[in-house]
Structure 1
Amino acid sequence: MDKENIKQQVVQFLQSHPDFFKNHLDLLDCLIVPHNQSGTISLIEMQLARQREKIQQLEKSLQLFAQLANQQQDIFFALMPLQQKLSQCNTLTDGITTINQWAKEWELQQAKILLFTNKWHKHNELLEDYWLDPKAFEIIRLERFGLRRFYLGNMTNKEKSLLFLANEFPIGSVACCLLGTKTSQNATALLIFSSRDTQHFHNGQDTKFLKHLVDIVELHLSRWLSNHWDNMQCNNY
């Protein structure tokens, strides 16, 4: 039996017996896990580190909402239900579906997230519809955003064709939000809201609500994509 078959049997056994180490605690002291920054760490250390990361993300989320509640109660109460739902999402697909449903409750046409291909590891299980070539987007960034991270208004049919699928037309007006940056440069993803109404989004609108919304989505984006990667690794076994 070759090593790959043995590895697969070990993985299948541990997946079927998650409590195996409960009766073999001595093995936990022997296991080590490669780590990009710390060299090698024990399995317990890795589990604790992952828990700490989740706690830190939760603390950031709670801090954000505490500040928001103190500053702008109307925005806080509008975004709180969305934040609760996004916290329960495990993948990018789940997150986009939730944001899209929320947008429709606000009588918008749709919401979507596009990932820049030069900023994220491309997951095979994510359709091409989720990805955006930053070179192709550069013309829109320069023309529509300047140094800002938000654009609200109309777009040409050529610009819309880059951001939307054929079955998503017609598009009236859009609100485009760059994620992962405080300016239009070095963004990692694009959050888009669209409306059938050509006047719904327009230049000069207050972007305060969108800024808070972007902060919330950014809290979860890396986690969603990390979970996609974990799921893909499990499926490859």
Structure 2
Amino acid sequence: MSNQQPPVAAITAEQVVSYLENNPDFFIEQDDLLAQLRIPHMRGSSISLVERQVAVLRERNLEMRNRLTQLMDVARDNDRLFDKTRRLILEMLDAQTLDELVSAVDDSLRHSFGVPFVGLTLFTDKHISVGRSQTLKSAQQHIGGLLAGGKALCGVLRLKELEFLFGKSQAAEIKSAAVAALEYQGIQGVLAVGSDDQQHYSNSMDTLFLTYLADVLARLLPSLLASLRAVK
């Protein structure tokens, strides 16, 4: 006894015509199908289906052009960001002293990247005459929650956190900030950037650039800090 199903009869053109006659709105929700159909548009006649198909293709063409424009804008922004980053990294590599390194980072972020508030703080029990420094214990008390995850983060910070990162004189002006930890060969610290716009550093913002900058900075600090101690 055979279990094979009987072959399905092919749909005839007459059946298709009959279905479309009974369902005149069928193509309204079938944009994908309309884009694939080939229908001759005879001169002197008015075929709404052809007009609909042309409209669909025109809309899709406009959408693709908008997407392409957006991609080109992103590419140009990335080129500008790469160029600024390259120049900053070269300036950091050229720094011969801790003072030059701190100045290179601060000046570039403020002027090239347009960052109004920059805070670079090293965690050490010894006093450092260059830049800002705090003890690790103080850092854990004031911004321990920001450093717990070990990843850069963005958002609206509490006043005591802002005061620790940027100093009391600037804290009240900062509405949002991004923070990246510095850690390499026993050197610990934090690099922070701030804005007077509460939405500028949102928690969904990409922190790749800040993390990259913090990683490079952390690797340059040990030798310059050693040189600073040797001079003393």
TM-score by length of 2: 0.57
Shift of 1:217: 0.9
Letter in 2 for 1:102: S
**Preserved CA contact (<8 Å) 2:118 2:192:** yes
CA distance in 2, matches of 1:219, 1:76: 20
Indicate the residue corresponding to 1:82 in structure 2: 88
Indicate the residue corresponding to 2:194 in structure 1: 194
Matched residue of 1:190: which SS? strand
CA distance in 1, matches of 2:227, 2:119: 19
Query: 1:169-192: per-residue Cα shift (whole Å, max 9, x none)?
Result: 4112111110116xxxx8711111
Give the counterpart of 2:178 among 172, 175, 186: 175
Matched residue of 1:113: which SS? strand
Indicate the residue corresponding to 1:116 in structure 2: 123
**Preserved CA contact (<8 Å) 2:142 2:161:** yes
Query: 1:14-52: per-residue Cα shift (whole Å, max 9, x none)?
Result: xxxxxxxxxxxxxxxxxxxxxxxxxxxxxxxxxxxxxxx
Letter in 1 for 2:216: I
CA distance in 1, matches of 2:156, 2:187: 21
What CA RMSD, in Å, does the superposition of the two structures yield over aligned residues? 2.6
CA distance in 2, matches of 1:223, 1:206: 30
Query: 1:187-228: per-residue Cα shift (whole Å, max 9, x none)?
Result: 711111112222111212112222221222122111221221
CA distance in 1, matches of 2:98, 2:178: 20
CA distance in 1, matches of 2:224, 2:196: 29
Letter in 1 for 2:85: L
Query: 1:91-127: per-residue Cα shift (whole Å, max 9, x none)?
Result: 2222121111111121111323211125xx544xx16
Q: Which has the higher contact order (CA 8 A, sep 6+)?
A: 1
Matched residue of 1:188: which SS? strand
Matched residue of 1:112: which SS? strand
Runs of at least 5 residues in structure 2 that lack an aligned partner in the other structure: 1-77
Shift of 1:165: 2.0
Matched residue of 1:138: which SS? helix
**Preserved CA contact (<8 Å) 2:123 2:139:** no
Q: Which has the larger radius of gyration?
A: 2
Aligned residue-pair number: 152
Give the direction of change, closer, same or farther, for the CA distance of 1:139–1:151 in structure 2 (3 Å limit): farther
CA distance in 2, matches of 1:142, 1:130: 18
Give the counterpart of 1:133 among 132, 135, 140: 135
- Percent identity of equivalent pairs: 20
CA distance in 1, matches of 2:117, 2:107: 8
Indicate the residue corresponding to 2:167 in structure 1: 165
